[in-house]
Structure 1
């Protein structure tokens, strides 16, 4: 690395010429002693050893001058933009901001520091082939002249590196031009610079394809020019007769555009028919532009057959970047399709120079956010470098979004206010679940640290970390919130299983058998509405298993002592007197037989007592009536074997609001208290009536037959389930 930077004689001569040009081009916007201050600042930077040739060996000061010339010619920048371009290559560090502010003003300092900030983004090795990085640049540059200077600088570098030996560096610069700077130039309507960037990128990245197309274009130039002249001659004559002031020119597609079409259509050069377009450029006052363009359209389409599917009307609704034109495709001589673009001088200037042309014209209507932004740029450039105007000159296409780097240079988009924990869950659920904090731009921060555009974030994790409920208030993205909730749910299940196993082990050690009914009573008595909350406290160590066992034993002993009061009495002593009214005749259900007949005289078989909801069949009796049996009736197999011809299909209809009688057999410990509990449960059930109960006891057990009346099998199953939960009941089944 050279200690003292020096110019070659050729570099010096070129620099002097550009300085003279810039002095003439923007001299009116320069302030007193600006040129002397710039010279002094750059000289001091050279002496201090801050100026060095780049990776290609290019002179950074000459490069800055060339970039400034492009920015003036193609974009229309003034004093602040040019000075910032010239100073940027000489800036040593962020401390120069104050000095530049004092020497040249806040605007210049802001542009220079913006260029420096974006340069630091490149040091994070970003993945430039992404829309996110383009959006990051647009949102990161507070002053949009930063982006404009970057585009001009990349165009200049691409022009200078044709013969350099550093293939790898040239390849990288060309890829950036293709993926990043050409799309940015296109967004801003800088079509000339965009095409140049694309063509040069193709030239350096796909050398053979570039020169193949270039040679083919040169070989066909003569015939192409002859055809263009043949096509436009009659149009010129008609337009002149109509009194229009205009000029026409043929525009050959860019090499990059032709190559893209060849790849898309999978054909060779000869397969591309629309190699050129004809432009009709009308000299028109602003208020007559549309009228005269449509008049020219009418003349062209009267002469040549148009393709209505290829009409593009950007007169009525201009493109979002301000482009205005009328495109038609017509069938010309030799049956060749030719694209014709009709526009005015003003529209052509904007189409050629994009952003630079917008500020030259008054009263242009704009629609959409990008148009509004372009209108702001036009006003800013028109006002020269007025600071008040430039204060409002911000790129705010998506202020609610920001872009953050991973350590590898990948970019993630987040809403404003997102935290380190949001970032962790964006990478992976496992990373989020074990996150303990992060390292933002090399500095360790907590997980609730808010992120900003351009931050480089690394997540710190610990294997013993688990998600907490409080994390839900830290994150801002729905995706992170959903992942935390899922992790909490999974943790709760694991904690519950762990706590349950722990308690079972402790109970087993003390030789105590766990009964679910007593445990449920214990959980409620301890103030827990949910069993999961109880087990969570056990797993967290907030509840001592020994205390739980003591409380469990206390409840169990109380229930057993309470039950001993009834030990002397057998279940056989239980007496029950049911209601006397007969509900068997009350029925609003209709039995449908063979799916057609309704209201048939039928009886429910006493051998299986079918109720609404049972699968059933009908059996024709000798007297002509029908008895309804359950399909699982004990007598069903014999009836089917011997009297299959008397069996008919049957099904229930209605809503099951009638009462049906059925018998339950209950077996349990011989205790009158158990029978009392059973009858108590039945009596509390809505629309269930106990008709009778018969009790028999033997060897410490009782066996009872309960006849109940209810509506359907759903209520029956629910009743059986409740009876099985009564302490001391061993078995409940329907007979």
Structure 2
């Protein structure tokens, strides 16, 4: 029987005759289009699209997906335009074929930038019609099954991109059958020797375990029969790549992994699942902490099942309990949406909605990511959905990746809540924003209107959404602060030239912007604030096209520091300036202004250069805490750190860091990091420290 007729017979079991005939017609069109073309293996090319369609038929996909599968290489490989496909088979099929063609042109693993750009195309294609990715997954699956005809280098490259991108996508969409096969085939292509050895070890272990598996299976079946429960009981095999990954990541020996016996029990309805669970816990003792209810709280990809681990017959027994529909959903994931579409009453809409939500999230990430590399970095984080489930104060369940923090939770609820996050409560107790969340906790976020994201959050957030929005907010914050500082620096430079901004004509500003190839005046101010351009050079150019850019800055009006300049003003660590010190501002490209003490050796060479340094004054009402490093020489004594801490605390200051170096058996040198408000406060701290018995000398450290 011809292969197309075998496919047609399979389709007739769930599709009406007219739709089967449309699929048949698409096959003959593809056969004619690919006439004379051969695959690397030497087979006729049309065998590939037919195999892709068969994969989708096994998932009971709709007729349009099957037609697209048969035609998916026609546009790329035969030169037939999209319009011709539209005319023959309709707009929907043509769009699917076009979407898959664009994904086929993707070349992963070459340049990171190209890979990332192409992944963005995938997100767009999935957003238009999620069936595009299902056809692409089936296409990739058949390519993986026929990797043998390719050279070893190409095999490894295709296997790597499959394990990194396509397998996680199949998992995220809940298609376990394809996900498992991707991992096994990818593993065999990447590490053939390791795969062969693990497979041989599994085969040997399976033979040794046969008797005990039969005994456990029989005891489970007898128990269910005694309770009057109809169920299918079957052993569950761990796949090769899963065993290999556990051996590597969890550092477990092969025997430890194979010592666990796994079974799956499939029943008719949800109520029966919980009855089976009770029967199993009566039969063997459950291991505490190993029970998971994915029926009440499904995984992010829609997976539902009860998981429990028992201890019986002297070995651990893992059991999964689910309904027939859940089993179908676990194997076919989002494809089950089309499988049940005819029977709307049982259609698993939630699974399709979850996939749509995920794709929508991808598009949001794409729009807000700074560049394509940042986008793919964030997507890869979200592709590995090992979740925790936490509650909002109103009882809503939120799914987050393992290791997520309250900041990730805040951004998952809403971007504005994340941006204004101030503190959090976990189970009604105040907790750090960096604390990893555990399943079952209730998280409450405390916000304040003027709060902004903290750059330190990037060190602990794990979700792509949180990372992207924090970076965006920081860029926006830095932009605003750079513009404000640039405006102050430019006005100060104009002041020194006895001019004001109001004296500069619009025409002169436009000419200067054209010269600098900028479109907005704010861009110029931002460049000045970031230290990329010198304010007095820009001021001179604004006043006159012929003005010399080397006007010396006058000393009569230094710029005032308010301490609220934010990200574009920082304090040098080499000399740790504090209010009251004589200071200079060093304009550092990309960083903005760095404040140094005028006596700092690091700026000795550029101190008199007006293009690099600008005189500064501290504002009278400046607030905040500033770090200072002190060196204290004293006689070594018991309870030394406690004595110093008491003295510093009595002067209303805080110790930030401390290190003790024993110079000889009698004397010690202590380096003390202290936070103070100004020089007067520092003098008070030093007075208290001098009062300690045995202190011989105190110096303020400067590089």
Q: How does the TM-score come out when normalised to structure 1?
A: 0.50
**1:354 is aligned to 2:340:** no
Q: Secondary structure at the match of 1:245?
A: coil
- Whose RCO is larger (CA < 8 A, sep 6+)? 1
Write out aligned runs for 1:27-38 (5 A): 28=16, 30-31=18-19, 34=22, 37-38=25-26
Q: 1:321 aligns with which of 301, 304, 307?
A: 301
SS at the partner of 2:307? strand
User: In structure 1, what is the Cα distance between the partners aligned to 2:71 and 2:17?
Assistant: 17
Structural mapping, 1:105-504, within 5 Å = 105-122=90-107, 125=110, 127=112, 137-141=122-126, 142-161=128-147, 163-284=148-269, 289=270, 291-334=271-314, 336-358=315-337, 359-360=339-340, 363=345, 372-373=353-354, 395-402=359-366, 410=373, 412=375, 477-478=472-473, 480-481=475-476
CA separation in 2, counterparts of 1:484 and 1:206?
A: 48
> In structure 2, what is the Cα distance between the partners aligned to 1:479 and 1:55?
51
Superposed CA deviations along residues 74-117 of structure 1, whole A, max 9, x for unmatched, are: x2212211111111222248872221111111110110111122
Looking at structure 1, the residues matched to 43 and 111 of structure 2 have their Cα atoms a distance apart, in angstroms, of 24
Structure-1 separation of matches of 2:218 and 2:2: 43
Q: Give RMSD over aligned pairs.
A: 4.5
Distance in 1 of aligned mates of 2:79 and 2:543: 53
Call closer, same or farther: CA 1:227–1:36 in 2, change over 3 Å: closer
- Any idea what SS the aligned residue of 1:331 has? strand
Contact 1:37/1:103, CA 8 A, preserved across alignment = no
For structure 2, list consecutive stretches of 5 or more residues without a partner in the other structure.
379-470, 505-524, 526-533, 555-679, 681-703
1: CA distance between counterparts of 2:220 and 2:236? 16
CA 1:537/1:150 → structure 2, altered by over 3 Å: closer, same or farther?
same
Which residue in 1 is equivalent to 2:62? 78
CA distance in 2, matches of 1:23, 1:525: 76
Deviation of 1:351 (Å): 2.0
Question: Over residues 550-573 of structure 1, what are the superposed CA-to-partner deviations in whole Å (9 max), with x where a residue is unaligned?
Answer: xx9xxxxxxxxxxxxxxxxxxxxx
d(CA) in 1 for partners of 2:345 and 2:354?
Answer: 15
Per-residue Cα deviation, 1:570-608 (whole angstroms, up to 9, x for no partner): xxxxxxxxxxxxxxxxxxxxxxxxxxxxxxxxxxxxxxx
SS in 2 for 1:400: helix
Task: Name the counterpart of 2:667.
Answer: none
Q: Does 1:67 align with 2:48?
A: no
Residues 107, 114 of structure 2: 8 Å contact kept: no
- Give me the whole-angstrom Cα distance separating, in 2, the residues matched to 1:357 and 1:525: 67
- CA distance in structure 1 between the partners assigned to 2:180 and 2:31 by the alignment: 36
Aligned residues: 428
1:253 shift after superposition: 0.7
Shift of 1:265: 2.5
Q: Do the aligned residues in 2 keep the contact of 1:320 with 1:367 (CA within 8 Å)?
A: no
SS of corresponding position for 1:396: helix
| CA distance in 2 between partners of 1:127 and 1:403 (Å) | 19
Maintained 8 Å contact 1:331/1:337: yes
Once the 2 structures are TM-superposed, how far is the Cα of residue 32 of structure 1 from its aligned partner? 9.2
- Partner Cα distance (1:293, 1:36) in 2: 42
Q: Do the aligned residues in 2 keep the contact of 1:278 with 1:338 (CA within 8 Å)?
A: yes
Return the offset for 1:315: 1.8
Q: Distance in 1 between matches of 2:132 and 2:501?
A: 70
Q: 1:298 to 1:134 in 2, by over 3 A?
A: farther
CA distance change for structure 1 residues 259 and 540 in 2, over 3 Å: closer, same or farther?
same
Structure 1, unmatched stretches of 5+, are 1-12, 377-392, 416-475, 501-518, 553-713, 715-735
- Aligned partner of 1:678 in structure 2 is none
* SS of 2:87 mapped into structure 1: helix
- 1:88 matched to 2:69? The reply is no
Distance in 1 separating the partners of 2:231 and 2:88: 49
Q: 1:315 to 1:268 in 2, by over 3 A?
A: same
Contact 1:281 1:348 in 2 (8 A): yes
Shift, 1:57, TM fit = 5.1
Structure with max Cα Rg: 1
1:540 is matched with which residue? 542
How many Å separate the matches in 1 of 2:321 and 2:377?
43
Q: CA offsets, 1:466-511, max 9 Å, x none?
A: xxxxxxxxxx9555555656776887799799x79xxxxxxxxxxx
Superposed displacement of residue 240, structure 1: 0.9
Task: Give the distance between the partners of 1:39 and 1:351, measured in 2 at CA.
Answer: 30
Q: 1:131 to 1:296 in 2, by over 3 A?
A: farther
Q: Separation in 1 of the partners of 2:543 and 2:43?
A: 69
Distance 1:537 1:150 in 2: 58
Deviation at 1:123, TM superposition (A): 8.1
- Of residues 255-264 and 229-238 in structure 1, the stretch that sits farther from structure 2 once superposed is 229-238
Determine if contact 1:56/1:166 at 8 Å carries over to the other structure: no
TM-score by length of 2: 0.52
Whether contact under 8 Å (2:73, 2:101) holds in the other structure is no
Pair 331,362 (structure 1): closer, same or farther in 2 beyond 3 Å: farther
Q: Is the 8 A contact 2:108 2:161 kept in 1?
A: no
